[in-house]
Structures are given as C-alpha cells and as structure tokens.
Amino acid sequence: MPNNHKAVLVGCADDTAGLTEHQASLQELARLCSSVDIQASELVLAPLRSPSPRYLLGSGKSEEIAELRRSRELDYIVFDKNLSPSQQRNWERLAECPVMDRHEVILEIFRRRARTRQAQLQVEHAELQYKLPRLTRAWTHLSRQRGGRRGTRGEGEKQLELDRRWILNRISRVKLELARIDNRQSTKRKRRREGRLPIGSIVGYTNAGKSSLLRTMTGAEVLVADRLFSTLDATTRTVHPEQGPRVLLSDTVGFIRHLPHSLVDAFHSTLEETVLADFLIHVLDVSVPEYLECFEATRDTLRELGVIEKPTILVLNKIDALPEEFELTTRREKLAQSHTGPIVACSVLKGRGIEHLSAEIRDLAFAEESKQSYLIPIERYDLVALLHRSARIYHEDVEENAYSVTAGVPSSIAEQLEAFRLTK
C-alpha cells in the first residue's frame, strides 16, 4: 500500500539521552509511521531544555514547526515524545492539522496487526485508555453550543458525557472478556507445566528474527514478515531434538524503544509467557548500527517485567548481513560487558549457528539435572513416559517385571521418582 499522507516528524533532544540516540529514535519513528501509511517528509530534532506545559516545546519553535507544516502542505505532525491531552489539543489549534505522538502511532500499528480475538481486545483496551482523556479533541466544535436556559447543557457537553460513558462501559466489557480468555490461557499454561517440559521464551526487539527462529527450531508454521510488530500473540511450540528430551519455546510480542506502559499492561497475559519461562532466548539483530540501543531497550522491558535475572542465551542474529567478520567480534565483545550468559552468533535465514544454539538451549534447559538410575515397576509405565518427556535418557533396559533406566533428571520431577531410585 502506498503512503497516502505526509508528515513532519518532531524529535525532542533533551538530556535523557545523547544526540545519536535521539536521531536513531526519530529514524525509528519514521519506520513506525510508514507502517501506518504516513510518509516522513520532514524530520525536525528540536532542543528541549525545559518542557513547556502548553506545547512541550517553546512557543517560538512551535510556531516554526506549524509554519513548516503549512508551507509544505503536510497532513500531520507526529511527535517522538508522548504529548499530554492538552498539549495535543493546543498543537492541533496551532498547526491546524491532526497531531499524533509516538504512543498513538504504535497503538495504530498494533490495531492493524492484531489477528486473534485476544490481541484485538488487548489493543482495544489500550486504545480506549488512551482516548478517554482526549475526548474533547473530537468535540471541540460542539463545546460552544450552549444555547437555551442557564444551566442547561449544550450538545457538545452531552456528546462528551455519552462518549465518556460509552468508553467506560466498553472498557468494563473488554476487561471481562479478556479475563475469560486469560482463564483459558492459564489452564493451557498449567497443563504445559504439568508436562514437566522446560519452557524457554524468545524475546527481543521487534523485527529481530524471533518468529523466524521459532520456525527454524520447531518447524512451526508461524507468520514471518520483515516488518515491525508482525507478531502480537504468544505462540508456543515444541523442539524435538535428535538426542535428549523435548523443550517448549514461546515467541512473544516484540519490544521497542519507549514501548507505552499501557501496551505492556494490556499485553500482560501474552508477556506472562516470559514471566513463567524457565529461561530466555534474547534475539538481537546484530547487523544494525543501533544494536546496542535495541539490546538495552529489550533489557529495560525485561527489567520492567521482573525477569532480567532469568538465565538467558543472547542470540546475535543476521550475522550474514555484517560487512566484515571483525565487526562481529567487536560487537560481541561490547555486548559481553553487559551479558554474562551464553552468546551464540547465528544467521537464522542461512541456517548458520543453529546447532550451536540447540546445544546451548539443551544445556541451559537441563542445567540442574542429576544423573540417576531407577528400577521402575512395569505397571508404572507413566513414570517411564515422564522420563522420556522430561529427562535425558542415557541407558534403558527392560527386565522381567521392571524397567531399568539411567537418566539425567531435572529437579522438577526428581521427587516423583525418588521411591524407585537405585542407591549407589
């Protein structure tokens, strides 16, 4: 679909980050806008020492941007910072055009990408929360229609009340439906936990190759697309290694700089796959210049979810796109300063490094196993099946009335088998 609208994109260079990071964030906003058919015709990085309550920026710079919009006949102004409802209204009056912020752009992308009922409801909930304090944007022209007796309400005020009531009621209904879906998802998670298989969650910056990795590792038919936020729903599939027990892998929604808190909250049930996982696989596109910023943005979200300390494999993806081999060594060394776990360089597209990654996943998934021998009565084949599902089998034999098994047993199932363990 061609870009139908043009916009001036405005970044704010404050002291929260360096100039290079502000510029990279503005370029990323341009990519986000292109996902919703808005072409970035002008990029403005404005200095911001002290935020203005009225326009966020100073009045002089604000007038300059508004005049730029009019002279170029652009359709939108889009801010890389989040605007308050009053600032958004003030800008729309000043520039005489729709004004969006980064939060609204990301919400629109999520709305377009949502496919399942759960994702659609989660996005709708975040949208309603965003729109509620901004209702007056849509009805400013009616707020002056007061007429009639003193104290009576004009059409604008009536419409605002109706809209507010409708949104609050809709939020309540969406929450109830999401709660029902969450209950079903919780039941599925409980069944997976009862299966005693280790669970790894694939996390990372959006468009880093998470879904491609899940497809490569499991053979799952999942959507793979070169675009931002192609996956909004958690997808869990089983890895069937040639040797050793199976492992479950879950792919989740991608992260991004300044991911709105409302979306983190709205997608809490999807992101819960990450919270409940035994270990994480952090996929990073190491070929892009801003790889360090993407790495830190993902870590910030993991920290917000309270899972930053989980055992993690860092996957340096898309090494085939690096111009020189020494670049990989340099970038790996920089990342190793912050990441203390295993680091695997690979190209999911070319199939390079996948065997090494599989070995690291097995080692991490079964790091707490202990090698034990068991003599299990033949009528307790359920325990033998449990070992085959959840343990690493080294040797097994069938005797007259029992199974003799030597296996690397994870701590999660050791207690169930204790009565049949052969003491040395």
Regarding whether 262 and 202 lie in a shared domain, the answer is yes
Domain boundary among 84, 109, 134: 109
Q: What pLDDT, on a 0 to 100 scale, did the predictor assign at position 114?
A: 76
Domain boundary among 345, 365, 385: 365
Cα–Cα distance list, 26 to 14, 47, 230 (Å)? 13, 13, 21
CA gyration radius, the chain = 27
Rounded distance, CA 212 to CA 225, Å?
9
Structure tokens at 420: 């049949």
Regarding whether 132 and 48 lie in a shared domain, the answer is no
Query: Which pLDDT tens digit goes with each residue over 72-107?
Result: 999 999 999 889 999 999 999 999 999 999 999 988
Question: Contact 105/79 with Cβ under 8 angstroms?
Answer: no
Regarding whether 380 and 293 lie in a shared domain, the answer is no
Range of the domain at 33: 5-109
What's the CATH code of the domain at 274? Answer: 3.40.50.300
Regarding whether 221 and 358 lie in a shared domain, the answer is yes
Rounded distance, CA 183 to CA 418, Å?
33
Regarding whether 258 and 172 lie in a shared domain, the answer is no
Residue type at 138?
Answer: A
Structure tokens at 79: 């801010």
Q: Within 261-321, where are the H helices?
A: 261-266, 268-276, 291-305
Regarding whether 215 and 132 lie in a shared domain, the answer is no
Rounded distance, CA 376 to CA 419, Å?
9
Regarding whether 95 and 219 lie in a shared domain, the answer is no
Q: Does any domain span residue 274?
A: yes
Q: Does any domain span residue 190?
A: no
Q: Does any domain span residue 75?
A: yes
Question: Contact 43/26 with Cβ under 8 angstroms?
Answer: yes
What are residue 127's phi and psi, to 5 degrees? -65, -45
Structure tokens at 415: 């207690």
Regarding whether 389 and 304 lie in a shared domain, the answer is no
Q: Within 148-267, where are the H helices?
A: 155-194, 210-218, 261-266
Question: Contact 121/110 with Cβ under 8 angstroms?
Answer: no
Rounded distance, CA 407 to CA 394, Å?
5
Question: Contact 283/313 with Cβ under 8 angstroms?
Answer: no
pLDDT cut 70: percent of the chain above it: 82
Rounded distance, CA 60 to CA 54, Å?
12
What's the CATH code of the domain at 38? Answer: 3.40.50.11060
Q: What pLDDT, on a 0 to 100 scale, did the predictor assign at position 110?
A: 82
Give me the residues paired with residue 409 across strands. 370
Average pLDDT, the chain: 81
What are residue 6's phi and psi, to 5 degrees? -120, 150
Q: Does any domain span residue 334?
A: yes
Q: What pLDDT, on a 0 to 100 scale, did the predictor assign at position 265?
A: 66
Regarding whether 352 and 374 lie in a shared domain, the answer is no
Q: Does any domain span residue 186?
A: no
Query: Which pLDDT tens digit goes with each residue over 175-201?
Result: 999 888 878 877 766 665 555 677 888
Regarding whether 206 and 345 lie in a shared domain, the answer is yes
The residue count for the chain: 424
Regarding whether 216 and 360 lie in a shared domain, the answer is yes
Q: What pLDDT, on a 0 to 100 scale, did the predictor assign at position 313?
A: 94
**Which helix (H) or strand (E) element contains residue 284?**
strand 279-285
Domains contained in the chain, number: 4
Rounded distance, CA 163 to CA 169, Å?
10
Q: What pLDDT, on a 0 to 100 scale, did the predictor assign at position 387?
A: 81
Question: Contact 364/311 with Cβ under 8 angstroms?
Answer: yes
Neighbours of 287 (CB within 10 A): 19
Q: What pLDDT, on a 0 to 100 scale, did the predictor assign at position 221?
A: 59
Query: Which pLDDT tens digit goes with each residue over 8-30?
Result: 999 998 887 778 888 888 998 99
49, burial (CB in 10 Å: exposed 0-12, middle 13-18, buried 19+): exposed
Regarding whether 301 and 222 lie in a shared domain, the answer is yes
Q: Does any domain span residue 48?
A: yes
Q: What is the mean pLDDT of each run of 10 residues along the chain (424 residues)?
A: 77 82 88 90 90 92 95 94 92 93 89 80 88 67 40 60 89 91 74 66 87 81 50 65 68 75 66 79 91 89 86 94 84 92 92 90 75 87 81 82 84 79 73
Q: Within 58-116, where are the H helices?
A: 59-72, 85-95, 102-113
Structure tokens at 180: 């029902």
Rounded distance, CA 95 to CA 87, Å?
12
Rounded distance, CA 86 to CA 340, Å?
45
Domain boundary among 89, 109, 129: 109
Question: Contact 76/97 with Cβ under 8 angstroms?
Answer: yes
Q: Which residues of 392-415 are buried (b: 16+ CB within 10 A; e: fewer)?
A: beeeeeeeeebbebbbbbbebbee
Q: Does any domain span residue 189?
A: no
Rounded distance, CA 417 to CA 376, Å?
9
What is the residue-wise DSSP string for 350-394? TTBTHHHHHHHHHHHHTTT-EEEEEEEETT-HHHHHHHHHHSEEE
Give me the residues paired with residue 314 across strands. 282, 343
Q: Does any domain span residue 49?
A: yes
Q: What pLDDT, on a 0 to 100 scale, did the predictor assign at position 224?
A: 45
Q: What pLDDT, on a 0 to 100 scale, did the predictor assign at position 232?
A: 53
Question: Contact 44/11 with Cβ under 8 angstroms?
Answer: yes
Q: What pLDDT, on a 0 to 100 scale, did the predictor assign at position 143?
A: 40
